[in-house]
Structure 1
């Protein structure tokens, strides 16, 4: 047998948001030796978290509730901000709406109820939070209006989030081992410990861990598993983030530990993505900027020149994670996003500036169609006809709704549907005519972010559930993308990072308690009693 590489109280597998949150929580709760491993080299630290916009969805009582943890709001600016409270009922309703009512109730309750205390806990560990003016607010009539139930982001998205996590783990003296691949986990026959087999380079080692927290990501970077579980064509989706999330942790947990698969294994988070981006890996410099989420301000047409979604069916936060799938279902998995010059100033510069994405510009719709034809558009006449028909529908609606006002911060009701004309696929909100040159188009495809299928856990502790017994596995926990049962078909924007932190925090506390019990000889019942004796304030961790 390979030599013991390390003996630790708590071992975390995975260096993303959920893994780091677990490590901090375990250390804070009293685990003496906490170690985090990841199969990626150090320059790829952070998993998919590094590639996010750093958005956290949380309940709050309004601006005053969040100001103590926000670092980018001056007093005079605060007076111009409209930020309505986002209650637990609001969060639960959004989760229920976009996930078709299928989220596991206990997991959903934990996510919602712990969201506020968890982001404040992260801030106490040095995570720098900002109000997301660039992504979640529009200036309307001199007021900065937040929309979509989402307002928090980290200072520089995933980049600063991982930097802050790494600084916090260094302060807590948490050991990290990079280029360390999980191979297997088995119970030590002579103790309560787990023997975790790993490879570093071509050498095999064993880490002896009292508790193990699996936070190794989904299978979004594994083309075979995408095709197997998500369906035909998904092997051709472009990978938004790390190339190291290939489902290894899920395979080990299911086949070696007997974990119970759970959740939406045919579902995933996928977005409109720059068609010219790399197919198999995210760009650590461009990061999230290859996302193309400005479609509510314009139109999306496939290469046959036809619209295929209602771009204004809901606020972007509730549609962007599923519209990638809609693009993947189009011919050649491609589409064109189109705007006129009225809307171009409203597009986020980090996603749409010319240094980041190829601009296709023209003075007429016919010229725009011709230029798109050189980039894959097959039916130029249909492209022009679709946009002109859309314009006619917009004008018809305006004639019947003279007092209607365009407002990107709310679902404004400006539509293509009227008594005089209706489109087969409506644009339900923010429908302005594309009439003012120059016109702009960009070419997009499907970028996959993370998979929804995962493993079943105890919502209280994130302890892994055994498929045969239906009981929690002592000392084994699961968080982050590997946790199944929360998201189905879609998800409310920002709730993925919140989930990773909420359940990472719970898992770290429970893993530490398990390790302390093993070290002191206390019974498992004592450990369980301790966790369930938590006061209301700490039971939300």
Structure 2
């Protein structure tokens, strides 16, 4: 599609947040809406393409969600156990996992509009499903949802982007690839952003715009910026998603309009990731299947043979986005996840089937340790001893507290800790002995998803704030570029929801600005 010389609303970045902003702007009266993305068309979708498509939302229970999902028949609906997820629940999770540092107003907006934003997406053709494969365990014949997260998009991020593209085309939104934003141009009198200089297929051109929405992602694909802001070792983290999120739009906004920086610039979303995955880019076919989130069902041991983290400190939804940091800080920036025959069947096939990840299998822990030395384990004896120490602690707890029931859908309290027998690194829930072969290990490292630092915005409109604490007229910011929501960690599924909530708001505000300016000229 040719690059227009002028447009009403120009969206920079074509991931979930960018599409939500563009669709909202078009539905709010903007006649000409354009998305530009520096990636080629075959990389469409930004980081959103690589997600599992999970979206966290306030809801009133299964009856509230059934009207927007397509994978539940009447018989299945009768087997579902799903508690309502309230405003208080979502807010409490945001406060808890961020250490109460989440921006109060941004958080209130995210939580309060999550349900309406999800249903708005559904009305625009986004296909939702209940996330049985990721968020429910079948226990005693009941499908028990856990962790406050129930929804995903059909076919994950791939399906989400497909649905967004279809909605955008129906609304006549222009999408122009291989086009990178270079400079924001402002009116010398009002300070409003009036155009953007871009590189379109290698040639500089200028696009005039009534409003500009920044949705270009974080800096997770830029090893220099990762080391600069996140700290030592982060330049060697594996990139989970698009290689095009290199932080250019941050530097442009800070340089050209003195955009105010906000949020946790040393924080990021980083998961346990297949150590054999590509280093600098996600794989568009395998995509999110490189994630290795089964660690709460087993234990993790580092290269030197030691456990280093409480694998059961909380439900996976509240730990997986920060577990990668723990792995990155280990010797060699890697670890081994380990299970026995009791829990191997509970691992998600899409992450752990042998077609996706290299299995290290053995009939004894000693044999497993020896085999792991072929995959960079340094101390097989210490590996074996760590498993034995863990098992002894579990046995002691079971002896002193008989009758405990293992349940992966709740924090079951099955721990390694008991009077007279405590591990320096506990496992607080789901602690079963690893003592029944065959045994399985997989090698993991840190996979960075997105960065938490961003730009300051007005929650009402997502308008960008300058370093002088004034709105930059005509400029908005959404998605990974919006700073202040997440610190150190985040509740699973809230990133895509943020993109929808604030993208929707920014699109409305941008369209209103364009219409107001048009009316003023009449």
- TM-score class, shorter-chain normalisation, is over 0.9
Residue of structure 2 in register with 1:536 after alignment:
none
In the TM superposition, residue 232 of structure 1 has moved relative to its aligned partner by: 0.8
Residue of structure 1 in register with 2:185 after alignment:
186
Residue of structure 1 in register with 2:276 after alignment:
276
2:462 counterpart of 1:462:
yes
Residues 214-235 of structure 1: per-residue CA shift (max 9 Å, x gap): 0000000000000000001100
- Separation in 2, partners of 1:202, 1:308: 48
- Separation in 1, partners of 2:276, 2:193: 48
Residue of structure 2 in register with 1:122 after alignment:
121
The alignment's TM-score, normalised by the length of structure 1, stands at 0.95
- Separation in 1, partners of 2:281, 2:176: 22
Indicate conservation of the 8 Å contact 2:194/2:210, yes or no.
Answer: yes
Residues 135-168 of structure 1: per-residue CA shift (max 9 Å, x gap): 0000000000000000000011000000000000
2:423 counterpart of 1:423:
yes
Indicate conservation of the 8 Å contact 2:184/2:193, yes or no.
Answer: no
2:129 counterpart of 1:143:
no
- Separation in 2, partners of 1:359, 1:76: 36
Deviates more, 1:184-193 or 1:301-310: 184-193
Residues 104-155 of structure 1: per-residue CA shift (max 9 Å, x gap): 0000000000000000000000000000000000000000000000000001
Residues 493-512 of structure 1: per-residue CA shift (max 9 Å, x gap): 00000001100000000000
In the TM superposition, residue 66 of structure 1 has moved relative to its aligned partner by: 0.8
Q: 1:431 to 1:4 in 2, by over 3 A?
A: closer
2:35 counterpart of 1:36:
yes
Residue of structure 2 in register with 1:134 after alignment:
133
Indicate conservation of the 8 Å contact 1:39/1:182, yes or no.
Answer: yes
In the TM superposition, residue 477 of structure 1 has moved relative to its aligned partner by: 0.1
User: Helix, strand or coil: the match of 1:448?
Assistant: strand
Indicate conservation of the 8 Å contact 2:193/2:211, yes or no.
Answer: yes
Residue of structure 1 in register with 2:299 after alignment:
299
Residue of structure 1 in register with 2:400 after alignment:
400
- Separation in 1, partners of 2:83, 2:188: 56
Residue of structure 2 in register with 1:286 after alignment:
286
- Separation in 2, partners of 1:93, 1:57: 13
- Separation in 2, partners of 1:269, 1:149: 19
- Separation in 2, partners of 1:237, 1:271: 10
Residues 343-397 of structure 1: per-residue CA shift (max 9 Å, x gap): 1110000000000000000011010000000110001001000001100100111
Indicate conservation of the 8 Å contact 2:193/2:472, yes or no.
Answer: no
- Separation in 2, partners of 1:193, 1:349: 49
Indicate conservation of the 8 Å contact 1:270/1:325, yes or no.
Answer: yes
1:237-386 aligned at under 5 Å gives the runs: 237-386=237-386
Residue of structure 2 in register with 1:197 after alignment:
197
Residue of structure 2 in register with 1:533 after alignment:
none
User: Helix, strand or coil: the match of 1:445?
Assistant: strand
User: Helix, strand or coil: the match of 2:89?
Assistant: helix
Residues 318-345 of structure 1: per-residue CA shift (max 9 Å, x gap): 0000010000000010100000011111
Deviates more, 1:254-263 or 1:182-191: 182-191
Indicate conservation of the 8 Å contact 2:263/2:487, yes or no.
Answer: yes
User: Helix, strand or coil: the match of 1:208?
Assistant: strand
1:10-49 aligned at under 5 Å gives the runs: 10-49=9-48
Residue of structure 2 in register with 1:445 after alignment:
445
Cα root mean square deviation, aligned: 1.3
Question: How many residues end up aligned between the 2 structures?
Answer: 520
- Separation in 1, partners of 2:306, 2:285: 34
Indicate conservation of the 8 Å contact 1:193/1:208, yes or no.
Answer: no
In the TM superposition, residue 522 of structure 1 has moved relative to its aligned partner by: 7.5
User: Helix, strand or coil: the match of 1:457?
Assistant: coil
In the TM superposition, residue 201 of structure 1 has moved relative to its aligned partner by: 2.0
User: Helix, strand or coil: the match of 2:229?
Assistant: helix
The alignment's TM-score, normalised by the length of structure 2, stands at 0.98
2:410 counterpart of 1:410:
yes
- Separation in 2, partners of 1:439, 1:248: 46
- Separation in 2, partners of 1:105, 1:520: 35
Give the ranges of 4+ consecutive aligned residues of structure 1 lying more than 3 Å apart after TM superposition: 188-193
In the TM superposition, residue 202 of structure 1 has moved relative to its aligned partner by: 2.2
- Separation in 2, partners of 1:505, 1:17: 11
In the TM superposition, residue 170 of structure 1 has moved relative to its aligned partner by: 0.5
- Separation in 2, partners of 1:6, 1:94: 45
User: Helix, strand or coil: the match of 1:461?
Assistant: coil
- Separation in 2, partners of 1:93, 1:403: 31
Residue of structure 2 in register with 1:539 after alignment:
none
